[in-house]
């Protein structure tokens, strides 16, 4: 496994981040524990979760599964860079959601209890809270840091200007601010290249892509169809997206076949080639899926392959692979 620093921080994290959203709803607790054990065996030290994962309001099912794994000892907690999130509703009463100072305090204590740990390495805001002032948010986060309950703060689903507002407010309070931003980013969804990636690079914020394979559309879905395999990518909105992009996805899978690589690993490797990306989040449902994704770290895509991928999946804006404002101006 390769490692890098998380943004401008001194924290070393693996180039793949273990996503745990499937733990509980899709993967049993026993299998979830096996996957986490396997991740450590392979050198993955960066785990991501959220208080709402498990999708049973207020229960924090996935955090509880991770907490019971930590309780097994053997240095599991000490070897893990633990990231969790708050924002989503954890109850039906007011102040059980979003980023008020009150909810930040309560949500952190609840996550610590479920995770069976006394600190969170990376505490992430799952979404922007347009109603809470940044001075209030940073004061609340600073209190948690002073208490030793969190070490770093990150964001998720922020626009570029949200990152700027957050960092400037942090600078006014003389605190570190954000060290990471979790954004949807993959070959089919490249909007972050306009504003989020440039802002993140400028402020020293590491980008952690979620949905790196666009819900499975970049994982070899057409090949799996031909082989008679089922896929979540062939139902609902994913099916519509597949039909809209079938020609491009077919060409992509042929390119991957020519390279002798699995499409999923090429998609992950492409993200690892992007300036500012720290670690894509892989969300395996099985140990086999986790093992397969490890290949991505070792793949080197040459300039010709990267150019071909840009042809198949162009960056947003009329002028090709350029950040804002050049993407839409001059």
For the chain (length 330 residues), average pLDDT per consecutive 10?
Answer: 97 98 97 98 98 96 98 97 97 96 98 98 97 98 98 98 98 97 98 97 98 96 86 70 94 97 98 98 96 97 97 90 89
Give the per-residue pLDDT at 231: 60
Q: Would you call 183 helix, strand, or coil by DSSP?
A: strand
Residue 296 lies in a domain: yes
Strands 12-14 and 3-5: antiparallel
Residue 294 lies in a domain: yes
Residue 327 lies in a domain: no
| Whether 123 contacts 103, CB under 8 Å | no
Count of domains observed in the chain: 1
> In degrees, to the nearest 5, what angle opens at C-alpha 107 toward C-alphas 50 and 3?
40
Beta partners for residue 81, in sequence order: 46
Strands, E assignment, the chain: 3-5, 12-14, 17-19, 46-48, 81-86, 120-125, 150-156, 178-184, 206-210, 281-282
DSSP string, 79-137: T-EEEEEE-S--SSSTTSSTT-HHHHHHHHHHHHHHHT-S-EEEEEESS--TTS-HHHH
Set 53, 123, 185, 203: catalytic member: 53
Burial of 266 (0-12, 13-18, 19+ CB in 10 A): buried
How many other β-carbons are positioned within 10 Å of the β-carbon of residue 292?
A: 16
Residue 223 lies in a domain: no
Q: Which domain holds residue 147?
A: 3-215+262-302
Residue 249 lies in a domain: no
Give the per-residue pLDDT at 232: 62
What is the value of pTM for the model shown? 0.95
What CATH number did the domain enclosing 206 receive?
A: 3.20.20.100
Q: Is 53 a catalytic residue?
A: yes
**DSSP 8-state class, residue 50:** -
Backbone angles phi, psi at 275, to 5 degrees: -60, 125
Residue 315 lies in a domain: no
| Whether 208 contacts 182, CB under 8 Å | yes
Give the per-residue pLDDT at 65: 98
Q: How far apart are the first and last CA of the chain?
A: 41
Give the per-residue pLDDT at 101: 98
Residue 324 lies in a domain: no
Strands 150-156 and 178-184: parallel
DSSP string, 211-276: STTGGGTTSSHHHHHHTT---GGGSHHHHHHHHHTHHHHHHHHHHHHHHT--HHHHHHHHHHTSTT
CA distance 83 to 2: 19
Residue 244 lies in a domain: no
Strands 206-210 and 12-14: unpaired
CA distance 139 to 142: 5
Give the per-residue pLDDT at 320: 78
Give the per-residue pLDDT at 318: 87
CA distance 326 to 329: 5
| Whether 175 contacts 167, CB under 8 Å | no
């Amino acid at each position: 496994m390769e490692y890098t620093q998380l943004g401008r921080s001194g924290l070393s994290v693996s180039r793949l981040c273990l996503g745990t959203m499937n733990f509980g709803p899709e993967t049993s607790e026993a299998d979830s524990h096996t996957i986490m054990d396997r991740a450590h065996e392979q050198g993955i030290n960066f785990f991501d979760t959220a208080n709402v994962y498990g999708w049973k309001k207020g229960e924090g099912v996935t955090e509880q599964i991770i907490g019971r794994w930590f309780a097994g000892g053997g240095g599991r907690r000490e070897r893990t860079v633990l990231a969790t999130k708050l924002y989503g509703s954890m109850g039906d009463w007011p102040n059980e959601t979003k980023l008020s100072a009150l909810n930040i305090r309560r949500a952190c204590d609840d996550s610590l209890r479920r995770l069976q740990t006394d600190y969170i390495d990376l505490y992430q805001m799952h979404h922007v809270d347009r109603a809470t002032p940044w001075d209030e948010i940073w004061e609340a986060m600073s209190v948690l840091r002073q208490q030793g309950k969190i070490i770093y703060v990150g964001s998720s689903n922020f626009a570029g200007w949200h990152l700027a507002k957050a960092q400037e407010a942090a600078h006014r309070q003389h605190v570190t601010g954000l060290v990471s931003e979790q954004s949807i980013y993959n070959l089919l969804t490249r909007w972050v290249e306009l504003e989020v990636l440039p802002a993140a690079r400028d402020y020293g914020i590491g980008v952690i892509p979620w949905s790196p394979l666009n819900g499975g559309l970049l994982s070899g879905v057409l090949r799996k169809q031909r082989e008679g395999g089922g896929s979540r990518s062939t139902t609902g909105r994913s099916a519509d997206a597949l039909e809209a992009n079938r020609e491009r996805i077919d060409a992509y899978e042929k390119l991957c076949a020519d390279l002798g690589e699995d499409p999923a690993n090429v998609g992950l490797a492409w993200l690892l080639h992007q300036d500012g990306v720290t670690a894509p989040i892989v969300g395996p449902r099985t140990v086999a899926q986790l093992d397969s994704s490890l290949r991505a770290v070792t793949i080197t895509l040459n300039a010709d392959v990267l150019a071909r991928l840009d042809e198949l999946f162009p960056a947003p804006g009329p002028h090709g692979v350029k950040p804002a404002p050049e993407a839409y101006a001059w």
